[in-house]
Every structure is written in structure tokens, then in C-alpha cells.
Structure 1
Amino acid sequence: MTNVSYRTINVDGVKVFYREAGSPDKPKLLLLHGFPSSGHMFRDLIPLLADRYHIIAPDLPGFGQSDLPGRGHSFDSIAETIDRFTEIVGFDRYAVYVFDYGAPTGFRLAVKHPERITAIISQNGNAYEEGLSEGWNPIQAYWQDASEENRNALKPFLEPESIAWQYTHGAPDIAKVSPDGYSLDSFYMTRPGAVDVQLDLFGDYKSNVALYPAFQTYFRTHKPRFLAVWGQNDPFFLPPGAEAFRRDIPDATVKFFDTGHFALETHAVEIAAAIRDFLG
């Protein structure tokens, strides 16, 4: 049995909730979740790695049990808070696992502090335009015209049916996908103000795409140890986005799994094994 601790700390006025497991004298591994989830998405992965690593999985600001900020929430502010969070919890050098929104968060940290990053694992965490599917078209329309009409057109992405679809689409057997994850995400979406925060982040995602060249420069310059573990049936982040990492990091390892966006829901054991082999 793995002992997981559930903690909350104050990060410059922002309450950040996090999960922690493993001995502090082990190599450090930071897990960064994506939309619309929380650190709960790592519930199956953490026990498979905690014997070898000191693991911390925060809920990003605006998600899960962490504070829900006001309007104008951005990926820059998320990264700034998580940067300070790592300093407060003593993560001075660490490997980082990034997924979805966790990718532009983690890549910002790597660009700012390349000396702190020992390795990167990207699970459907994109940094290349060829990785963006047509599923982004409604969101890109909002980038180009931040009208109320385009903003309201994105609200269906936040409905329970849509959140569940993100978990089940592309999974080889949806009976293997626990309803706990998407049900919890839908519950957190009912917090007052949560919808507007998420719509603001949809609009701000264009800042991540604008930073793709900077992320790629970091990859080419620093050549971090890199593992991509990708649900190949992801409706949002396509396999070419995973393959593109090799363009800037020729020694990157890329592994595809027959599942969708939330690959850990069906392939946590396989992904954990890939991480253990990769980190050594």
C-alpha cells in the first residue's frame, strides 16, 4: 500500500492543494494535470511510482481543491504560482510529467529554470502546431474574435456530457474508464465562477501557441531527457505533435497507446512501466 498525503499550502495568497507520496530522499517527480481535471487524475499512477520517486501532484490554480481565482486567469499566472509552489515544497531539481494544460505550465518552468529540470514526460502535452486537431477550431475562433457569441459557443465544452466524452473518446473499451474522474471534474465545474475561469483560459490558450517557438528553442538548446507517452486516439492533440518532439530532441522516446486523451484511465500500468524504464 502507498501512503498518499493530501496537503494544502499558501502560495503568495493562493491556496494550492496537492498530493504527496514517496520518500523525500528519492528523486523528485512533479505531476501536472490538465483540463478539466485535477491531481485526482494521477490516482492510479502515483502508487505505481511512489516506491522509487518523491511525487508531488498539485491541483493547478482554478482546478480541483485549489483556489478559484477571479476573472482574467491566465497560463502565465498558473505557471508563476506553480513555480513558487515548487520552491516552497523544496522541489529544487525534479522530473516533470505534463499533460494537456500541464504542458504549457511545465514548459514555462523549464524555459525559466532549465537547471532544475532533470527530465520531461509528456502525456498528450503539446508544443507544436501540427499537434492541434480541428477540435480546436471553436476555441481558435474565440482567439481571433473575443465576442460574447464566440465565448458562449464554448460553454458546451464545460457540460458534464462533454467532460465525460473527453475521457471516453478513443478508449478501446469505455467499460474500463471509471466514471469517478469525469464526475469529479463536473462537480468542480459547478463552483461559483468556475465556468468563467475556464472560458478565460480557453481564450488565453493562444498565449501557449505563441510560446511554442520558445519551448522548441529550449528543447533544441538543452536537449532534456524526454519521454512522450501518447494516447494515439486523442481528439485534441494528434500523434504528429508527439513525433515532433524528435525534431528538436533527436534522442526523445515516443510511445503510443491505443487510447484517448486521458490515457492514464486505461493505461496507467503501461505508462508507469515506461516511466520507470525511462528514468532508470
Structure 2
Amino acid sequence: MSASVVRHRTETIDGLDVSYREAGDPGAPALVLLHGFPSSSHMFRHLLGELADQYHLVAPDHIGFGRSAMPAVDEFDYSFDRLAQITDALLDRIGLTRFALYLHDYGAPIGLRIAAGNPERVTALITQSGNAYREGFTPFWEVLFAHAQDRAAHESTVRALLEPEATRWQYVHGVPEDRLDRIAPEAWLLDQLGLDRPGNKEIQLQLFWDYQFNLDAYPAFQEYFRAWRPPTLVAWGRGDEIFGPAGAEAFARDLPDAEIHLLDAGHFALETHGPEIADLVRGFLGRTLNPAAL
């Protein structure tokens, strides 16, 4: 079977189906790709093919997203702690003992919980708008943090973030005019289909509320950076109005050797700068995942 073939698989973790995409030779260095809101492993569809000749790639769908299980909000603890536990258990189940992490958006607090809890397992970090510093928050977050303090007062405003125009905006904001035609419309339409499933908006509202506790975890994430100095690549959209470029540059504070690249892109930079990011990742992993690190 060609290394570039992507397999779509499912494991049952704690009674829940967790779907994931897998490509590459299982004997090759592993890279785990963790998606953000409101996406799924679909966001990595092109990157899997680009990197599968040299790496073993695994891209899960978080619970409540993509093809993974979507229990009702009163039947599952929709928290970032719990999502990290599920992901960690999936990696154990499929036998990934050492791996690099690619973090986007929600994937950052999920993946960094795993990394801080099991630092010896993580060979490298790649972050694409995967925030770990308060500097990364933009005015976009004001209503979300207000919602965290008073859910009833701000729910109607926050619910607007789950509607089609807001989903499309996440893909097109900050993107130069000459790159807009690179955004595949099925990407944000697929995300919206996921949001429109009965009960999913309640799930997303719960995760919006729970996001506040990720900030409490930032000191532990930053201590992990300082103590373990994982090789780190930052490939971030300069025009991202959700997690601003100050969040990218902040990684240098605790990881002075981090390779930081601000691309002329928005939040979903893989849609418009996929080949550029693939080249950055390939070069970075080629330099850092030497035999002594595996």
C-alpha cells in the first residue's frame, strides 16, 4: 500500500467511538495532528498526503467533532481535560509511545495537557494558531470570556459564532485577496454540517464555557517548555484575528530556539498555505527527529 494512502479508522475508548485518519509507515517517526474548532481531522487532509512518505501520521477527531462519537452534553464531560484523556488513551491504544504533536486551536490545550503530563513521549511541537500565552488572545475573545462569567447573559451572542457566516469568517478573515480562491468551500461547509447536528451546538457552548480553564493550565504548559525545551515550530497566520501573532511570538519567551514563521494567512492557514506549511514541517522534523530523539 502506498505510504500516501490515508486510512480512516475507529477505536472504542471508554465506550466511545474515536475516529482518526492515518497515513504513512507505522515504523516511521510519528506525528499526531490535533484539530481545532469547529473543524475535524479533515483540516489535515492535504498535509497527510504531503508528509506520509517520511512520517507516520495520526489525526483524530475529538469527541463531538467529525466522525467521532457525539454523546449528549448531559451524558459526557465536555471539558478539555476529558478530551485530552480520550486522546491520550487513543494514542496508547494504537501503540504510539513517542510522537511529535501538531497543534491547532483547540488541539493546543488538548495536546499540551498530554505533553506536560508525559513530556518524555513528545519529540517535537508544531503549532499553527495553537495558543499557550495570554498575549495570543484578541478582541474576538471578549464575548467568550464574558460568557464564561455569565452564561445566561451572553448565550445568544455566543450562539452566533455557531452559524454559517461565522464559520465561513473563520476561514476567510485575514486572508489576502489573491489567496481567497484557495479556500475549499466544502471545508467550512463540512464544519457547519457538524455544528448543525442536533445537540452539537449545546456541546460547543459547553466547550466555549470550559475554555476559561485552559488559561489556568498555561503556567504548567510554560513550565513544561522551560524544563524540557521541546523542539518547536510555529507556523501562524499573521492575519489571524482569533489567536493573534503576539501569541506566536510569545513562544520565544520560554523556547528561545523556537522557529517562528508568520505567514500571510488567517486562522486556517493550511487552506491557503498548505504547501508552504508542509515544507516548513518537513524541514523542521528532518532537522529535529534525529535517531537519538526517537
Question: Shift in Å at residue 140 of structure 1?
Answer: 0.5
CA distance in 1, matches of 2:48, 2:248: 23
Unpaired runs of at least 5, structure 2: 287-294
Select the residue among 97, 103, 112 that pairs with 1:98.
Answer: 103
Matched, 1:272 2:278: yes
Give the 5 Å matches for 1:129-168: 129-146=134-151, 148-168=152-172
Distance 1:143 1:118 in 2: 34
User: How many angstroms apart in 1 are the aligned matches of 2:81 and 2:154?
Assistant: 23
Hey, what does 2:292 align to over in structure 1? none
Give how far 1:149 is off: 2.8
Mapped to 2, the partners of 1:165 and 1:75 lie a distance apart of 24
Question: 1:153 is paired with a residue of what secondary structure?
Answer: helix
Pairwise CA RMSD of aligned residues? 0.9
- The residue number in structure 1 matching 2:219 is 213
Post-superposition offset of 1:152: 2.3
Deviations 1:244-278 (A, max 9, x none): 11100111110111010000001110001001111
Shift of 1:139: 0.2
> Which of 76, 85, 94 is residue 90 of structure 2 equivalent to?
85
Deviation of the 1:174 alpha carbon: 1.5
Aligned position for 2:124: 119
Alpha-carbon distance in 1 for matches of 2:167, 2:138: 18
Residue of structure 1 aligned with 2:56, choices 51, 54, 57: 54
**Between the two proteins, what is the percent identity of the paired residues?**
49
Distance in 1 between residues matched to 2:130 and 2:5, nearest whole Å: 28
Q: How many residues align?
A: 279
1:179-223 deviation line (CA, Å, top 9, x unaligned): 011000001112111000000000000011111111111101110
What are the within-5 Å matches in structure 2 for residues 25-44 of structure 1?
25-44=27-46
SS in 2 for 1:26: coil
Q: Secondary structure at the match of 1:230?
A: strand
TM superposition score normalised by structure 2: 0.93
Q: Secondary structure at the match of 2:37?
A: coil
Q: d(CA) in 1 for partners of 2:260 and 2:136? A: 14
Distance 1:125 1:142 in 2: 21
- Runs of 4+ aligned residues of structure 1 deviating over 4 Å after TM superposition are none
Partner residue, 1:183? 189
Aligned with 2:92: secondary structure? Answer: helix
Structure 1: distance between partners of 2:42 and 2:182: 17
Distance 1:5 1:44 in 2: 13
TM-score, normalization by structure 1:
0.98
- The letter of the residue matching 2:127 is S
- Map 1:182-261; keep pairs closer than 5 Å: 182-261=188-267
Q: Work out the CA distance in 2 between the residues paired with 1:91 and 1:70.
A: 29
Q: Once the two structures are superposed, what CA deviation does each residue of 1:122-157 show, in whole Å capped at 9, x if it has no partner?
A: 0010000011001000001011222x2312220110
Tell me, which stretches of 5 or more residues in structure 1 are unaligned?
A: none
Secondary structure of 1:162's counterpart equals helix
**What is the CA–CA distance in structure 2 between the aligned matches of 1:115 and 1:165, rounded to whole Å?**
38
What is the distance in 2 between the residues matched to 1:206 and 1:119?
Answer: 26
**2:138 counterpart letter in structure 1:** S
- Structure 2 partner of 1:5: 7
Aligned-partner residue type, residue 66 of structure 2: G
